[in-house]
Amino acid sequence: MASPGSFIRSAARATSSAYRRLPIRWRLAGGSALLTLVILLGFAVIVGVLTTRQIESDFNRDVSEAADDLANTVRPRAVLDENGLRYDFRPLAKGSPDLDAYDASQDAVIRIVSLDGELLNGSTNAPYLPPPRGKPTDEFDRYRIESRAVDLRGPGVFFVQYARKLSDVEATANRVRVFLGLGVIGGAALALLAGLATATRAMAPIAELTETARAIARTRNTSLRIPHPEARDEVSELALMLESMLRSLDEARSETEETLARQRQFVADASHELRTPLTSVLANLELLELELEGEPREAAASALRSSRRMRRLVADLLLLARADAGRVAPHLPVDLSEVVAEAAGELEPVAGDHHISVSAPPGAEMEGARDELHRMTLNLLENALRHTDPGTAVEATVERRNGEVVLAVEDDGPGIPPELRDKVFERFFRGAGDRSGSSGLGLSIARAVAGSHGGTVSLVEPLDGRGARFVVRFPARS
């Protein structure tokens, strides 16, 4: 069972965490409102205590003065009736001999009693009040009672009792407390609103900086101007630091882009320059293979195969370098169905036990570079042949759909593991079990060619859950 101390610490941590998650403007406004609330509470307590005491003091003084006034004005009047001589006690001042009319606005109770507590006269419906008990002031049944003795030689000693309800002063004190409470709540609410307005105004430069930073992140345009506040304060320093940081990032990006551009240019130039000597080497090796016999001929054939592989790798690198450098080959009207049929026919002799089927009706025209599209199709088909077992089928389809030319290459092999689906288009990426000797550039070239033609290539989950399906989409020629 958790101890009270641990429970309090957990509650404090939760409260602190919730406070830190609040926006800064709410924290500033809340702190201002809380401070105002504490000040107003202290002020209200002091004013409430002093005012309540003053109200009670005034009430007690009014009751005491009224009792003194009655003691000075009430006199006995001799009345002779059938019962004999008796005394009728009434006030002789204020123009009225009626006790009910005396100080009626104060809702008071007046009783005139003898020394032993016998009621001699009183206001209408006056409740029972205890006889004087040797002290002029008393409280009974929520009444404050002031008793005054009047000593006359005729009737002797009698007492005037004047009483008022304590609820009268308590109601006045409660109204004061309610007023002070409403003032505290209203003052705190106004402080919160004023704090929010002030904090929002103070945070306006931060909001401008945030909006500018968001625009820079969206457009990647580091040349956007950072707004500078007029005041030289912390926000101004932050704006200057952001501006300095953006300049440094812009310079670093420019240097990086220049370096990458030089690298792409170097790769493109080197790949282009390598094609001529490789062509010469291939021609010489082909002649040697024809003229030599035995082991020298096998060595020449092996060198010829390696040279052909090197020539293809150089061609791949050249294509990628041109795509990175933005060098786009001239685009002419091309029927993608013809390109796919030619690529499938080129691979048919080396397909082995694989079965290649093509569904490419004429009319899938687009704007593009025929050689690059041919190379992309070859790479997709070779990728399917390379990673499937003998006896499996590879299918290529071309169709025109919704203003697009769609090429799909699908096989019924083992498929691509989910963890590798995001990596297959990376350059030089090869699966763990790939022993085909491929360069790992085939799918990268397919993506580069698709991008240079305004299209996309994606790996789509097959409907039956087997194999791999690559879909390329190009804008159709209108």
Return the amino acid letter for 328: V
Summarize pLDDT for 261-306 with one digit per residue, the tens: 777 677 666 666 666 777 787 787 788 778 778 888 888 788 878 8
Residue 435 binned pLDDT confidence (cut-offs 50, 70, 90):
very low
Question: Distance (Å, rounded) from C-alpha 257 to C-alpha 263?
Answer: 10
CA distance 77 to 97: 11
Residues 279 and 358 in one domain: no
Percent of the chain past pLDDT 70, that is, above it, reads: 81
pLDDT for res 246: 78
CA–CA dist 56, 167 (Å, integer):
11
Q: How far is CA 43 from the centre of its chain?
A: 39
In a domain, 424, yes or no: yes
**Which pLDDT score is estimated for 155?**
62
343, 232: one domain: no
pLDDT at 114: 83
**Structural domain of 351:** 330-475
Q: What is the pLDDT of residue 405?
A: 92
More confident of the two residues 469 and 97? 469
pLDDT grade, residue 318 (50/70/90)? confident
User: Tokens for 446?
Assistant: 């397919």
Nearest to 150 by CA among 113, 125, 192: 113
Residue 53 lies in a domain: no
Domain boundary among 312, 327, 342: 327
Same domain (yes/no): 141, 255: no
Asked if residue 80 has pLDDT above 70, the reply is: no
User: Do 349 and 439 sit in the same domain of this protein?
Assistant: yes
Q: What's the pLDDT at 46?
A: 93
Mean pLDDT of the chain: 80
Show the CA angle centred on residue 411, arms to residues 406 and 417, nearest 5°.
105
Question: Are residues 442 and 384 in contact, defined by beta-carbon separation less than 8 angstroms?
Answer: no
Whether residues 294 and 281 fall in one domain: yes
Q: Encoding tokens for residue 370? A: 């025929």
- Tell which phi-psi region holds residue 153, choosing left (phi > 0), alpha (psi between -120 and 50) or beta: alpha
Neighbour-count burial of 74, counting CB atoms closer than 10 A to its CB (0-12 exposed, 13-18 middle, 19+ buried): buried
One domain for residues 291 and 387: no
Higher-pLDDT residue of 264 and 113 is 113
CB 132 within 8 A of CB 149: yes
CA distance 396 to 321: 28
In this structure, is residue 469 part of a structural domain?
A: yes
Asked whether residue 214 is assigned to any structural domain, the reply reads: no
What CATH number is associated with residue 446? 3.30.565.10
117-167 per-position pLDDT tens digit: 788 888 877 888 888 877 788 888 888 989 888 877 666 788 888 998 888
Same domain, 84 and 142: yes
Q: Is residue 179 part of a domain?
A: no
Q: Is pLDDT at 5 greater than 70 in this prediction?
A: no
Helix-helix angle 166-219:24-73, to 10 degrees: 170
Say whether both 315 and 338 belong to one domain. no
In a domain, 28, yes or no: no
Q: Indicate the number of domains in the chain.
A: 3
Same-domain status, 458 and 346: yes
Q: pLDDT for 344-382, tens place per residue?
A: 888 888 888 888 889 889 888 999 888 889 888 888 888
Tokens 């030599």 map to which residue? 292
Q: Examine residue 240 and state whether it is found in any structural domain, yes or no.
A: yes
Do 358 and 318 sit in the same domain of this protein? no
Q: Which of 274, 307, 327 is the last residue of a domain?
A: 327
Residues 346 and 437 both lie in one domain: yes
What does the pLDDT average to over 394-408? 90
* pLDDT over threshold 90, residue 50: yes
Q: What confidence score (pLDDT) does residue 463 get?
A: 62
- In this prediction, residue 42 has a pLDDT band, given cuts at 50, 70 and 90, of very high
My answer on whether 231 and 122 are in the same domain is no
Report the candidate in 472, 297, 464 with the shortest Cα–Cα distance to residue 383.
472
Confidence of residue 3 (pLDDT cuts 50, 70, 90): low
Give the global pTM: 0.47
Which one of 169, 184, 199 terminates a domain?
Answer: 169
Q: Is position 57 within any domain? A: no
Tokens of 319: 């294509």
Q: Whole-angstrom Cα distance, residue 203 to residue 196?
A: 10
**Residues contacting 310, CB < 8 A, separation 6+:** 278
Nearest to 376 by CA among 421, 425, 330, 411: 425
Backbone angles phi, psi at 215, to 5 degrees: -65, -40
